[in-house]
Amino acid sequence: MDISRAERQRKRQMVVGKHHGKDHEEFAQAKRKKDESKQQTLQKAFQRQEKLHKDNKKSVKITEKVVEFIVLDNQPLSVVENVGFRRLMEHLEPRYSLPSRKYISETALPELYSRVSSHVADQLKDVKSLSFTTDIWSSDVYPMTLLSLTAHWVNSGYALQSAVLHAKELRGPHTSSVISASIKEMMDGWKIPLSKVHVILRDNASNMKKAIKDLGVPSLGCVAHSFQLVINEGLLSQRSVSDALAGARKIVGHFKHSPSSYSSLEDIQRELHLPVKRLQQDVKTRWNSTFYMIQSMLEQKRALSAFAADHELPATLTANQWGLLEKTVIVLSPFEELTRAINSSQSSTADVIPAIVVLKNLLSQERDTDSGIKTMKSTLLQAVNERLCNIEDEPLFSVATLLDPRCKDRYFTSADAVIHAKNALTKEAEKIEDTLRTATTAAGPAEVSHMEAKCAQLIVENGTTIIIDSSASTTNSECKVCINQNCQSSVILKSDTLMDFNCSQPENVFKVHIFRDIECVVYSCSNPTSELLQR
């Protein structure tokens, strides 16, 4: 029994020893891994403290984003020297070294400009027709005058695109020859021939008109600038209105230059439970800024009256003048709304005639609420008729309106205007037919059966025509076309809304002429001059 017990004890010790050895080995392995982990963590910690080289991929990317931030948000170059910005970058990526202002201005910005300008140039190279806007303006922070040039086009996806190509300093007198030479120089810099210019939108100043005329390219006056002239001549030049505005400007200017007065006005606004807002100062050359100034004063009329009871102001407004300002806002509201619509980046020449017609209708209507503003409305209507009387005679406006499926001929004010627009459209359609006919003749009889496809490819490349096979339609009364009024998506063109499709013959081919240079579309069958223009 003693021997047996001793044997069992020995075996038990062997098992325990075996398990102990195994546990010891596992413990040793775990300890080694932990030590290695600590060593790796220390290495990473040291690596995190090492500054990224300026050519490091991550460092280069961050610098690019900093430059984009400066450019897109109009930040001064000195932002990279600001303490708060440097602390932000240090917190986000301690290893990153923010470049100096000199590096940003002399290296990073030129590199970004080079990349962006190359990208824009590649897009412009493939566009067959370009429209431009140009304007002369003065800097608020530096005594200099700039001439800007912005290109507008429709890309292959029928989306409106634009890019500011240049802002050139104008020195000396702004004569038409100086302006003309500057525009030509800017276009030459982008290798844009004048033959590629569809139209240049400019203001109505005589020197600008002559400058574009000397270039030998079509031009149109800016409608928003025409509104400025209309409102100045028809309303703001009236003695009673100008006197009220002069007083309003003095009041707004007082609060702008007196922090203590503005603080007192803020206290009054809170007491009266009015919005705590600053009064807006206007710029005489921008009529809508005058509109917003009057609006801001009317909103704070009670606060201003309470302030005037205890403080001196450089000017005061009588009850009649306050009433006159209220009427002015009512009368100018349609102009303000239309100006915002026309100045939209998605607006086009097709929007102009409808806007003018709507404006004339609003000014000519007599309502019960027109008490005290009838004279204002009639004066403005007269100014609109004088300044914009020939708008329908301009083919660039009339054809664009006629081609827009939303408008067609609904907004023309006379039968003669419709005929004039259709005649202008006929000439454009005949140019396209001549192109197709020339291509067909050049191909020869053997190629006639494939000519429609070849013509389709030819015209699509220059952005004017697409040929669609009606057999691809979903029904016999509709045809799917990759366009719409806003040039952004596909729509189904139905026969009862846009044109008389004759889809009974599967082999019938429809031509959809897309005038991308005027940002509109015209729908026609195989003979556009007879099928469309007779409608």
Q: Which residues of 281-291 are buried (b: 16+ CB within 10 A; e: fewer)?
A: bbeeeebbebb
* pLDDT for the residue numbered 439: 65
How wide is the angle at C-alpha 478 spanned by C-alphas 473 and 481, nearest 5°?
70
Residues of the chain with pLDDT under 70: 1-28, 30-31, 33-49, 439-535
* pLDDT for the residue numbered 492: 32
Which tokens hold the place of 219? 């031009």
Which tokens hold the place of 15? 């098992």
* pLDDT for the residue numbered 38: 56
Q: Which residues of 182-216 are buried (b: 16+ CB within 10 A; e: fewer)?
A: bbeebbeebebeeebbbbbbbbeeebbeebbeebe
* pLDDT for the residue numbered 273: 93
What are the DSSP E strand ranges found in 100-248? Answer: 130-138, 145-154, 160-169, 197-202, 219-221
* pLDDT for the residue numbered 341: 87
Question: CA-CA distances (angstroms) from residue 461 to 155, 191, 331, 534?
Answer: 11, 20, 48, 29
* pLDDT for the residue numbered 373: 82
CA–CA separation, 379 and 391 (whole Å): 19
Contact assessment for residue 199 and residue 219, using Cβ atoms and an 8 Å cutoff: yes
Note every long-range contact of 310-316, with CB atoms under 8 Å and residues 24 or more positions apart, other chains counting: 311/261, 311/264, 313/250, 313/251, 313/254, 314/250, 314/251, 314/253, 314/254, 315/246, 315/247, 315/248, 315/250, 315/251, 316/247
Contact assessment for residue 353 and residue 413, using Cβ atoms and an 8 Å cutoff: no
CA 100 to chain centre: 33
pTM confidence score:
0.70
Strand order in the sheet with 520-524: 465-469, 509-515, 520-524
Beta-strand relationship, 197-202 and 130-138 = parallel
Contact assessment for residue 392 and residue 353, using Cβ atoms and an 8 Å cutoff: yes
Who contacts 69 (Cβ-Cβ below 8 Å, separation ≥6)? 75, 79
Who contacts 152 (Cβ-Cβ below 8 Å, separation ≥6)? 130, 131, 132, 133, 160, 161, 162
Contact assessment for residue 307 and residue 264, using Cβ atoms and an 8 Å cutoff: yes
How wide is the angle at C-alpha 379 spanned by C-alphas 374 and 384, nearest 5°?
125
* pLDDT for the residue numbered 478: 34
